[in-house]
Structure 1
């Protein structure tokens, strides 16, 4: 498969769910998500590859050379954030499909069948924009999240994961492939590679992540007739919490901790009613768990003060905690070697964002690779990576995948 063929497929898939400003909106288990899944299936069918869909909607394309052997998995996700970018996730899936075809061609041309089989995967609901938590499909596959609990997660309209997957025809019952290893290529979503002029990032670890599920309970009343002294406005209290989540980063050196409130809903959401309930999710991330835990402790104390001052109940629950993950050193070295053989230099780095590889690294040796993001922006329509960086990444992923198929990491310690 040529670079031109890959780029043609990539830019075609970007038309599915396209937004006016060159982004995509393909949230999990929507009609546009179905269309990309159908495209994935057609790609596999044209090449005679078996496809499977498991009970959480993960979609696999299988290349089987040895009956009974395990599978090296490669891939990412095709779902997006609302008004998201066309590169996040989709690049990794399409790159994996083309890497798989190159390897299939190599075997068909006479190379000995590798030790393991190969599966390309499109993980369900990595983004978590419609159905929290994120990294859902790979976490269920890895045994980190409970399958039945995730099927009952609801979006803001009340639709469950099971109902949404059933509606688009992707609530499967197939047995997923048994993994021997995993590799994923992704856009960086930061600006380190671009700033340093590097094409490839060899990811060695991930940041610690902690979310807080916060429910603010006030009292509904008339915005015009209720005296200010008699109001228990849940949105006013929530607004203070939003600023606290922002300001807690000032307790640490710059960029040591990042935080935000990315989702907020209020009830009854009427222009003439003082809000009675606000629900928000706070996201705290740092390389150091101690930093995140210190920020969490500060916020809990401050939130107690807000509840007392506003005479209301505020419920806080820990949500979606992800420990630091350390990718196998042998996999990082493999990325460096493959890149060097192709005339590129790989820069070792961390991932601040979560990826499906974070879940997979819990159960099998996993390799995570980055390519540059122009301007370091992501989860927005102006997210961008250059064609030449994407095609270089496909070359690197192909080389890494072949090495994994031949057992490159099987005798190394998985740390």
Structure 2
């Protein structure tokens, strides 16, 4: 038997430079195949580049170049063909006044949600300036701050030294702009918002956006605010937002566990008093926020027990609270331009409003603050008198945390009698 030695095999199979030799009869087919693969790869790459360029163009066109297109395309639903709303209210035109927004669609979102058109609205970028004509006020006493079904999430501060809010679907940031102008008018601040218009899987997790999309939305909001600041000749810019923004915690939680904006309620021992809310929906405290809230809630059992106790002693009593979270107390602290808007709806520095309940005022870090307390319909009738102490404790807590001065509280008489 004839056997090739390893050295002979090596010499025959490997040419100079270490390349594997290809037999003459196979060279032409191999070269043709390689050329075909290269042509396909170049064609695919070219098509991909063109689609990406076109998507960038569509987003820039809709959002006046303010919203970072590359980051929008990094969102989970941003696949396939990208388009935008063609109606005037769905595109940004800075010369037309503020606020403005742009609405972006994709076929990936349309496919996931099986829309008839084949595409779906998945992202909104919005911008505005302060002061504005927008009305600011807390909940009405007939409102329902909690959802009947599904998780309830508090709006959380963004952090990182930025005045910003994270919701279950988006991020809003605010930037001072004392020397800027919009539509020929002087402004004091601007804001930008990035929202994912996705309400269910696969682009959400348990009722809120995913961690990836939450971080991406924060970057989009900050970049958009900085781009708008440049257009309006604002001196300041926002820093990069924090990474790995935590998911929003579900609520409400037992009042005994309150640690954030409702910690004062636990520390004051109010939850241990009969007929007082036993749950809270709270967020982390942040003195930069323009709207910081603590929501006190009576669980179903507590609301039912209070109603039955009062029904035995009153000739007239409110309707039975049949829904989850129907009896509640909402406390807000509004800051800066938003505080001024709330103050416009009521006279004086403190008092009682038929629209939303009690309010107080203060000055924190040179900015006006408005503190409000609204009680749900029915519950106010049964408990408003003892809640004078609750409101005073809340305002005192905020004033201490924010180094507020010139605090003015409503008179005791506003908690007694009919209004």
TM bracket (short chain):
under 0.3
The higher relative CO (CA closer than 8 Å, separation ≥ 6) is in: 1
Which structure is larger by alpha-carbon Rg, 1 or 2? 2
Report the TM-score, using the length of structure 2 for normalisation: 0.22
